[in-house]
Structure 1
């Protein structure tokens, strides 16, 4: 903590430290150390050395100048709020710079390219009016810079990142997506629940019974069965191994690439939804069945089931749907005491968690 007064030094009693009225400007300027007379004059003093202490002002500068750079190449800037909030706190004197990458990289999936830009490099992507990526990006430098040098440096870093992504993608596309299913046996799901292949085999067995209980028509049931035989297979791909946040997204992409229907491909993404609080939810009947089955199979046979959490995931998936689901419990299907406990606790808490909006009695088998 810095105590700014007209006196040069003040004793900070809470930490027994001596504080002064010196602050620091940008390291690459002549004002690396400055004197601040009072707390009231702090903002002006920092502004005089080209540091903007206002988060909102820095955010406005980044947004407006990045947009202007994108428009200079007939594009639009893609600025996710979370990324903007992160970047604005990485710089004190934002200076957006427009960079370019080879157009051949645009052959890679858009989600892969933007993820590398945003997550690894904190760059903003540029797209055209139709949402297609353009071979440009915006990096935000800090303070006075040699723009040409900074641009070339950022372009070189992104080029190396994209070469890696291209290598992983080409490894995956050397074979059909369905071939990755068996490789799930090499990924541990839980020491007491087996591998990811074990888990997804259980999900595959469950969705048929669940579809019948929900009176899903045969055409949709076939989509569910086909999707369940591929679901989560992208966890074994090189791209998702390297970029885990693309799980589901790459599954959809690889399925479409191999000629699977749009419904099956979309289900491979939506089985992963919701991924976090406030995330979008599965939309179609096929997607909902797969997502619920995946969550419940996370907890069946778990020695110490997290009942409320296990309940809340499938509830969030179907909450708000017009049709309530009423199904009977077949207790003879329970294999372990834990399943009986899970079911009993579920029935006792379901109304108190969200009364009147959801009714589901689960069939554990």
Structure 2
């Protein structure tokens, strides 16, 4: 049986242990530029086998929340380089999550106040975050416009350029394609948000087309061994669902198998909610089997509500990596605490989004 604290080779990533810090949006990057405290924050958590950054926009159009970071400007890349240098100084490994929010945005966050973009012109029944008088405020998303098919090659190119800049300029060890949680690529996958009648809508093969084109372009840019992907088959986050998710995601992972990815990152159940959704059953073991049968060699990463006993059970059942989210917010030394069975610091929900060092870099580590 593998231990949480054993090393693992995931593609080109040599990881010191099987504990992964999941992406955690913190809204502390004014003008989409990570501040210096971000370097402190990530370096404090560098004992994780792998750090996955907060979701990071590949373009201004890809922005959907106030004060989240980007990868499309020199100042942003320079700031991220300070983060990766700080993590590497602690012998850590860090990848950046590549993000395009699609319709989960607001006109105030879009270039020239334009409409957010989506597979179809269907407004998401969800909220985003704007800064009002210095305070993070939840607001309804704006109505999107449907992307023209002629715009999609440009989006694919932008993903690849962001990945290349992340590795070659910002110094990341790799990238994670965000294909989950009701954002652009997931919107194309799911029947509730994709009502297109062209080559990117309708049949499973068409709805999966953009996600696969993006992933192949990113692999061409930085190599499969430096690329991961995040998928959420049944999460209702941001108002998405699919009428028949099992064959959809079985197809997706079979197509991903030949790409030589470093890992597949699976959110089980509802993101940040129940692991089992009664009206949305899903067989995750069958999904993993479909990937392996198709020749997929990437590490299998599981996520959602894991503690140490559940993580150890996952490893016994053949999973390779376990991602922890909120526990990493309040426990910069989470790996040590898990190893020693030490109590965990409680987190403060009031400081999750926006603010400064409070609730970000001031949680204590063990003496």
Do the two structures share a fold, i.e. TM-score over 0.5?
Answer: no
Q: Which has the higher contact order (CA 8 A, sep 6+)?
A: 2
Q: Please tell me whether Structure 1 or Structure 2 has the larger radius of gyration of its CA atoms.
A: 1
Higher strand share: 2
TM-score (norm 2): 0.26
Higher helix share: 1
TM-score (norm 1): 0.26
